[in-house]
Amino acid sequence: MVRAAVMREPNVPLEIQDFPEPDLQPGAILLETLFSEVCGTDVHLHHGQLAGVPYPIIPGHINVGRIQRTGGAIRDVEGDVLMPGDVVTFMDVHETCNACWFCLVAKATTRCPHRKVYGITYSARDGLLGGWSEAIYLKPGVKVVKLPASIPPERFIGGGCGLPTAVHATQQAAIQLGDSVVVQGSGPVGLSAAILAQLSGACQVIVVGAPQLRLDMALEMGADAVINIEEHSSEDRTVLIKEMTGGRGADITIEASGNPQAIAEGMRMTRDNGRYVVVGQYTDAGEVKINPHWDINRKQLDIRGTWGIDFGHFYRAVKVMAKHGARYPWEKLISQSYSLDQVNQALADVASLKVIKAVIKP
């Protein structure tokens, strides 16, 4: 039997259930879970803030595991055969259809209506399709990436879903050598964005966030400066950013805060004709007032909404970590590791921002 944590419905504690060891279809893989992430989305799931979730579910969308069995010879994107014992991760989003208007004409696979997500859009009745479990069933076609030896599993899960999301945001940011970059938000996405901005040519990276624990981590991860939102008003923050950027504002601002009010502030922190990437508004947290004359038109601002990731972002995240993991040890973002039996505590600690990142080690 396989033990898994099940979120039966919103706002009630998860419980551990036993599931039978699954048979494998051709093309499927069974993973022994090494680590699964607890992220803000899991808190939203637990609070019932996402529409269309087929409770009961096994949460856990970003995971690292060891291959136990495979349904025949399966190759990864590089053409290499996947073998039992390989330590791998996989792309939680899958079944983008390659047949709809968004996949084929818009080439915006993150908006494909058929996409499925491990740990979010599958019911526990459908099988071991989330990572808070001793084992995970990878359906045929799920995209698997082998972890290179230079990435310990803990480091990969320390990056978690924040890292590939930040890869997408950083691509949208189109940073040029020498740019100044402000990151709004110091959670996992913001911290990874602050690292990736450095790796993409930014010569000044400023993180605006809270609490101090996270800002200290930003500094440890190479940010040039931080601004604690618990100590400075929105107006002050904008003034501070201008002072640090020659009076003009940041060349590029990346929003990773989740707070609608951050949008107006971020527009004002960005220089005329700069670029503003919005990646943190993952759930509907309400409205914000902006002044389109000053904030968009006169400023000639370039604003780029950024939703989810595609496989390219996921693949590049692994490449970046393999190269730069020693310099930016993402495992330091893990404040605490929890067993399956502690998942409710893990959720509570993430919700209260007590931890930067929580991981499940089943």
Per DSSP, which regions of 152-201 are E strands? Answer: 180-184
The span from the CA of 1 to the CA of 83, in Å, is: 23
Q: Which is nearer to its own copies, 63 or 204 (CB)?
A: 204
| Radius of gyration for the alpha carbons in the chain, expressed in angstroms and rounded | 20
Q: Which stretch binds its own copies (CB under 8 A): 51-59, 77-85, 212-220, 236-244?
A: 77-85
Interface with its own copies includes 43 (CB under 8 A)?
no
What single-letter DSSP state applies at residue 293? I
Kindly tell me which residue out of 78, 125, 149, 352 binds its own copies, with binding defined by CB under 8 A. Answer: 78
Smallest separation (angstroms) from its own copies to the CB of 56: 25
Interface with its own copies includes 324 (CB under 8 A)?
yes
Kindly tell me which residue out of 283, 339, 345, 354 binds its own copies, with binding defined by CB under 8 A. Answer: 283
Rounded to whole angstroms, the maximal C-alpha distance in the chain is 63
Smallest separation (angstroms) from its own copies to the CB of 177: 5
> Burial of 68 by CB count in 10 Å (0-12 exposed, 13-18 middle, 19+ buried)?
middle
Residues across the chain: 362
Return the structure tokens found at 339.
Answer: 């067993």
Q: Which is nearer to its own copies, 31 or 267 (CB)?
A: 267
Other CB atoms within 10 A of residue 319 CB: 12
Interface with its own copies includes 291 (CB under 8 A)?
yes
Q: Which is nearer to its own copies, 57 or 279 (CB)?
A: 279
Interface with its own copies includes 196 (CB under 8 A)?
yes
Interface with its own copies includes 203 (CB under 8 A)?
yes
Other CB atoms within 10 A of residue 147 CB: 21
Smallest separation (angstroms) from its own copies to the CB of 127: 22
Cα dihedral 190, 194, 195, 196 sign? positive
Residues 6+ apart with CB under 8 A from 293: none
Token pair 């290499």: residue: 80
| 241-270 binders of its own copies (CB under 8 A) | 246, 248, 260, 263
Interface with its own copies includes 326 (CB under 8 A)?
no
Nearest to 165 by CA among 56, 2, 69, 277: 277
The span from the CA of 100 to the CA of 106, in Å, is: 9
DSSP lists the bridge partners of residue 209 as 228
Residues 6+ apart with CB under 8 A from 109: 96, 102, 103, 115, 310
Interface with its own copies includes 322 (CB under 8 A)?
yes
Site string for its own copies, 163-192 (x = CB under 8 A): ----x--xx----xxx--------------
Kindly tell me which residue out of 84, 319, 339, 345 binds its own copies, with binding defined by CB under 8 A. Answer: 319
Smallest separation (angstroms) from its own copies to the CB of 31: 19
| 107-136 binders of its own copies (CB under 8 A) | 107-108, 110-111
Q: Which is nearer to its own copies, 211 or 312 (CB)?
A: 312
- Torsion, Cα of 329, 335, 340, 341 (10° steps): 160
Using alpha carbons, list the distances in angstroms from residue 148 to 142, 153, 248.
19, 10, 42
Kindly tell me which residue out of 280, 330, 333, 340 binds its own copies, with binding defined by CB under 8 A. Answer: 280
Q: Which stretch binds its own copies (CB under 8 A): 3-11, 17-25, 29-37, 277-285?
A: 277-285
Interface with its own copies includes 282 (CB under 8 A)?
yes
Q: Which is nearer to its own copies, 240 or 288 (CB)?
A: 288
Kindly tell me which residue out of 165, 281, 328, 338 binds its own copies, with binding defined by CB under 8 A. Answer: 281
Interface with its own copies includes 70 (CB under 8 A)?
no
Q: Which stretch binds its own copies (CB under 8 A): 39-47, 290-298, 340-348, 354-362?
A: 290-298
Nearest to 37 by CA among 123, 119, 110, 135: 119
**How many residues form the binding site for its own copies (CB under 8 A)?**
77
Q: Dihedrals φ, ψ of 223, to 5°? A: -60, 145
| 50-69 binders of its own copies (CB under 8 A) | none
